């Protein structure tokens, strides 16, 4: 396992302990402000406006995942419906991301599908696009089924995410081709065992480019969601060399990560979106950001030491 993946694995396993959670929740306010737009929809919309002024479009994401009761899933759905309705009244952004486990996927696939269907019924006629985030590997199969089922029901303003660290992803991509999916391609943010995922960053990066090029060759719309300057440069080079039009792909970033690069790409004429998370349930999201970047752990440790 490469060092960065060993670090990620360590952070994600420790972050699950209650004591650590309590400490981070009280002492990591600075990091929360960097990565999370706020606790309310109003704060998220304000952040979206600021991005738009820089030519970067927002993807609104109500934080929340792995709910344990139907009531919780329905409550999240209610808030996502409010979000969709409020986006419908604005010229932009018209884009939300959500996690299937936020809508009860772990309780019942039928429940998640029903709640998603209701969201799409509101979103599609209002021109709001809905992206299903991809969670950890035990949830991949069900998420793919959800996506395919919704497409078979006739919904079109829905997309999904593929993760280049999973061995299975190329086969999933081939299986998805008949659905002409709007894809977001990521490296993958979870702790995955060596039986299912590459453990070497170089292989994950190579697979990211391989899958992205394959999807573009097949004529799919691809959102390249990475902050990695080397991969972004290669996507720019490849799309130019192959004559892929700028409308055929986009770059996506996370709120608070490399904002200058986001703005620069937008100025160069690329379509750029930033994922704007908001809500009270920010802890799991924040731990994945800490796990991606050792500097963030140092910031947390420094604040624990009162620095």
Binding mask 155-184 for ligand FDA (x = CB under 6 A): ------x-x---------------------
**Residues of this chain, 91-130, that bind ligand FDA according to CB under 6 A:** none
**Residues of this chain, 28-47, that bind ligand FDA according to CB under 6 A:** none
Residue 260: CB minimum distance to ligand FDA, A: 11
Quick check: 58 binds ligand FDA (CB under 6 A)?
no
Quick check: 289 binds ligand FDA (CB under 6 A)?
yes
Give dist(CA 33, CA 53) in Å, integer. 20
The answer to whether residues 299 and 293 touch, using CB atoms and an 8 Å cutoff, is no
Q: Is the peptide bond before 93 cis (omega within 30 degrees of 0)?
A: yes
Size of site (CB under 6 A) for ligand FDA: 21
Q: Does residue 2 sit in helix, strand or coil?
A: coil
133 tagged catalytic: yes
Exactly one of 46, 117, 148, 227 binds ligand FDA (CB under 6 A); that residue is: 227
Half-sphere exposure of 110 (CA within 13 A, CB side): 0
- Name the helix (H) or strand (E) containing 120: helix 109-123
Residue 136: CB minimum distance to ligand FDA, A: 8
Cβ closest to ligand FDA, residue 34 vs residue 117: 34
Quick check: 292 binds ligand FDA (CB under 6 A)?
yes
Residue 161: CB minimum distance to ligand FDA, A: 4
Give dist(CA 165, CA 46) in Å, integer. 34
Burial 235-265 (b: 16+ CB within 10 A, else e): bbeebeeeebeeeebbbbbbbbbbeeebbeb
Residue 38: CB minimum distance to ligand FDA, A: 18
Instruction: Just list the catalytic residues.
Output: 133, 184
């Amino acid at each position: 396992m490469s060092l960065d993946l060993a670090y990620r694995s360590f952070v994600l396993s420790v972050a699950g302990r209650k004591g650590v959670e309590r400490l981070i929740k009280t002492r990591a306010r600075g990091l929360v402000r960097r990565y999370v737009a706020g606790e309310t929809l109003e704060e998220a919309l304000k952040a979206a406006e600021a991005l738009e002024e820089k030519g970067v479009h927002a993807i609104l994401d109500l934080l929340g995942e792995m709910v344990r009761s139907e009531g919780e899933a329905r409550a999240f759905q209610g808030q996502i419906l409010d979000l969709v309705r409020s986006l419908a009244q604005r010229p932009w952004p018209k884009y939300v991301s959500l996690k299937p486990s936020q809508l009860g996927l772990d309780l019942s696939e039928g429940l998640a599908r029903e709640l998603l269907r209701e969201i799409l019924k509101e979103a599609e006629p209002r021109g709001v696009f809905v992206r299903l985030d991809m969670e950890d590997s035990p949830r991949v199969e069900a998420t793919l089924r959800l996506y395919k089922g919704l497409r078979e029901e006739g919904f079109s303003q829905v997309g999904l995410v593929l993760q280049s660290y999973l061995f299975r992803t190329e086969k999933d991509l081939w299986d998805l081709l008949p659905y002409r999916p709007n894809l977001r391609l990521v490296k993958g943010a979870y702790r995955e065992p060596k039986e299912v995922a590459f453990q070497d960053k170089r292989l994950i990066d190579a697979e990211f480019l391989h899958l992205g090029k394959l999807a573009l060759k097949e004529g799919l719309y691809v959102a390249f969601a990475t902050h990695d300057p080397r991969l972004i440069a290669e996507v720019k080079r490849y799309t130019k060399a192959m004559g892929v039009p700028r409308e055929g792909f986009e770059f996506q970033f996370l709120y608070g990560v490399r904002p200058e690069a986001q703005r620069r790409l937008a100025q160069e004429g690329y379509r750029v979106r930033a994922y704007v998370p908001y809500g009270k349930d920010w802890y799991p999201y924040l731990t994945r950001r800490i796990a991606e970047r050792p500097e963030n752990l140092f910031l947390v440790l420094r604040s624990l030491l009162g620095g």
